Amino acid sequence: MAAKKNYCTGDKNIDSEICSLAKKYSSPKTRQYIQDIFTTAIKLHLDKADDRDLYLINTTLKELRHIFRIFKKYRDIRKVVIFGSHRTSPKSKEYKTTEKFSRQIVAKGYMVITGGGGGVMEAGNKGAGKRGFAVKIKLPEEYEPNPYVPQGEKLINVKYFFTRKLAFLKESDATVLFPGGFGTHDEGFEVLTLLQTGKMAPRPIIFVETPGQTYWKTWFNFLKKELLRSGYLVKEDFKTFSVVDSAEDAVEEIDRFYRVYHSIRYHRGLTVIRLNKKISEKDIAKLNKKYKSILDQEIKPCGPLPVEVRCKELLEKPRLCFKFHGRHFGGLLDLIRDINRC
């Protein structure tokens, strides 16, 4: 999405200086964004923003810049973010299942991101080894990361929960949750909300039940009994996630999700799905018939969009394009699952 070109301070002299500065310290592709960032900084001064507001904005921008810089060179590698309680005992089934999952998903070529603390996060880093990251929040009662976090750039310390959550979701391709407390549920419901409303690209969201436990099954029954029955959820919302009974099932579900499907792009009302391999016209016809209710325009093979060509974005990937009506993203996830069966 292009930056707005009419964003300015309203002072011709200031805007001219900002324009010159942006031209000097940007490329043609990034110039408008850099100019807008400079403009925002000056507008904060013109708005007489107080030191508390400036501190928050400054800290947030610095944290995000650092996060993006670290992850940039790993963006071609798919990653899984693991959530769960920091209080989980190393002797527990939850800890052992998390470690097993992390070890197995890394063996499939993925990397792992955790919050860097103890419990489930520690188990995730232990299983991932050198292929693990930690985005750790600075808390008064928890100074040190768990001993399995790779030292160096893969340990990122942040002040704010919201920048950490942004890093977790922006830099990952799947979300896996093990039992936990307020933080785990906060992270789980946020990712579900983003997927439900189309504010995040489709991804596997998996709640892992540990052997002999009913933690997520009880949670799932609560959703059906209270939220669905009361009309706060609809049936399609239950297609946005899954509850599985083992580390192996979680690994298989993630691996299957990216078997044929690669990624998605929305542009001017059009939905473009990039594929790892072509699917047949017969399969496309079946998809059009089955998913007619969520399509405003049928699925067709297509080439890269002009914006993808300009950005040299995955030009070698085959594509399907269609007009999705923008509601019931659970149906869109079902479409992706069927694409992976082709």
pLDDT per position as a tens digit, 133-144: 999 998 777 678
Q: What is the pLDDT of residue 110?
A: 98
Segment 20-31 shows an average pLDDT of: 94
Half-sphere exposure of 231 (CA within 13 A, CB side): 0
| 35 Cβ neighbours under 8 A, 6+ residues apart | 3, 7, 18, 19, 22, 26
Segment 147-152 shows an average pLDDT of: 92
Segment 46-58 shows an average pLDDT of: 96
Q: What is the pLDDT of residue 151?
A: 85
**Percent of the chain at pLDDT above 70?**
98
| 274 Cβ neighbours under 8 A, 6+ residues apart | 262, 263, 264, 265, 314, 317, 318, 319
Residue 237 · residue 330 · CB < 8 Å = yes
Place of tokens 């942006």: 22
Give how far Cα 261 sits from Cα of 203, 226, 286, 295, Å: 10, 34, 17, 18
Q: What is the pLDDT of residue 232?
A: 96
Q: What is the pLDDT of residue 127?
A: 98
Distance CA 168, CA 113 (A): 7
Q: Which amino acid is at 3?
A: A
Strands 79-83 and 111-114: parallel
User: Does the 261-341 domain belong in CATH 3.30.1360?
Assistant: yes
Backbone phi and psi for residue 22, each to the nearest 5 degrees, phi listed first? -65, -40
Q: What is the pLDDT of residue 113?
A: 98
**Which tokens sit at 121?**
């996060």
Query: What does the domain layout of the chain look like in residue ranges?
Result: 12-72, 79-257, 261-341
Query: How many other C-beta atoms are found inside a 10 Å radius of the C-beta of residue 197?
Result: 11
Give how far Cα 211 sits from Cα of 200, 207, 216, Å: 31, 13, 12
Distance CA 68, CA 167 (A): 8
Pick the CATH number of 79-257 from 3.40.50.450, 3.50.50.100, 3.40.50.150, 3.40.50.300: 3.40.50.450
Scored b (16 or more CB within 10 A) or e, 284-303 reads beebeeebeebbeeebeeee
